[in-house]
Structure 1
Amino acid sequence: MKPGRLASIALAVVFLSVVVPAHAATIRITMEDLVISPADMSAKVGDTIEWINKDVFAHTATAKNSDFDVMLPPQKSATFVLKKAGTIDYYCRYHPNMKATLKVEP
C-alpha cells in the first residue's frame, strides 16, 4: 500500500470519528398518581425524552422557558428531542404541583 493512501485512510477514520455523533439516548419519564418520576433528570442535546402518562386524565410537560409544551392524553406517551443545553424546569399545566427539572448537557 502506498504511504499517501495509508495517510488518507487514517485521516478519513479520524474525521469520521469526529463528525459522526454519538448515539442519542431515549429517556423515559413517567407521570403517575400526579407525580413526575424521576423529578430530576440529566440528558444530552440530541436525546429524546419520552413522557409516559399512566394516569386516567391528561397531563402536559410544559417548560417554563417555553422550550416545549407536550400534551399527554390519558394512558398515552409523547416524545421531544432536546435541542439545546441548559436547565429546564417544567410542570403540568393542568396540575401545577407536578414539577420536574431536566439538566441538558451539550
Structure 2
Amino acid sequence: MMSGRLSSIAFAVALLSMAVPAHAATIEITMENLVISPAELSAKVGDTIAWINKDIFAHTATAKNGDFDVTLPPKKAVTSVVKKAGTVDYYCRYHPNMKATLKIEP
C-alpha cells in the first residue's frame, strides 16, 4: 500500500516539474561611448532584454532582419521580450558602426 502511494507522489512530482516553465532571464545590453556591450550575446525565447543607453545621445537597436527596432533615448533604459529563435545581427541606425549579434535559442 505504501509503495503505491509513494509511486503516485513521485509521478505527480515528475509531472509538475515538466509542466512548470523555466524562469526567463533578464539580460542587459549597454550602449556607452558608441559601443554595444556585449557585442555577442546568447538569450532564449522568453528572456527579457534590458537595453541601457548610458550615452548623452539617442541610439537604436535595429535588427538587420527586421525582428526588432528599439529606440533608446539618452540616459534611459528600455526592455523588450525575445520572441523568436535565430541569430540576429543588429546595429544603431544613428551610428551604423555600432554593431552586435544576439544568438537566440528556442
Same fold (TM over 0.5): yes
1:36 counterpart residue number: 36
**Counterparts of 1:80 and 1:19 in 2: how far apart (Å)?**
25
- Please list every run of at least 4 consecutive aligned residues from structure 1 whose deviation after the TM superposition is greater than 3 angstroms: 1-8
> In structure 2, what residue type is equivalent to 1:93?
R
What SS does the aligned partner of 2:9 have? Answer: helix
**Counterparts of 2:4 and 2:67 in 1: how far apart (Å)?**
49
1:74 counterpart residue number: 74
> In structure 2, what residue type is equivalent to 1:28?
E
The alignment of Structure 1 onto Structure 2 pairs a total of residues equal to 106
What SS does the aligned partner of 1:78 have? Answer: strand
- The percent identity for this pair of structures is 78
What SS does the aligned partner of 2:11 have? Answer: helix
> In structure 2, what residue type is equivalent to 1:64?
K
2:86 counterpart residue number: 86
Offset at residue 4 of structure 1 (A): 4.9
Residue correspondence of structure 1 range 1-106 to structure 2 within 5 A = 4-106=4-106
> In structure 2, what residue type is equivalent to 1:102?
L
What SS does the aligned partner of 1:12 have? Answer: helix
Q: Higher mean Cα deviation, 62-71 or 8-17?
A: 8-17
CA RMSD of aligned residues (A): 1.5
> In structure 2, what residue type is equivalent to 1:45?
V
**Counterparts of 1:19 and 1:84 in 2: how far apart (Å)?**
21
Unpaired runs of 5+ residues, structure 2, are none
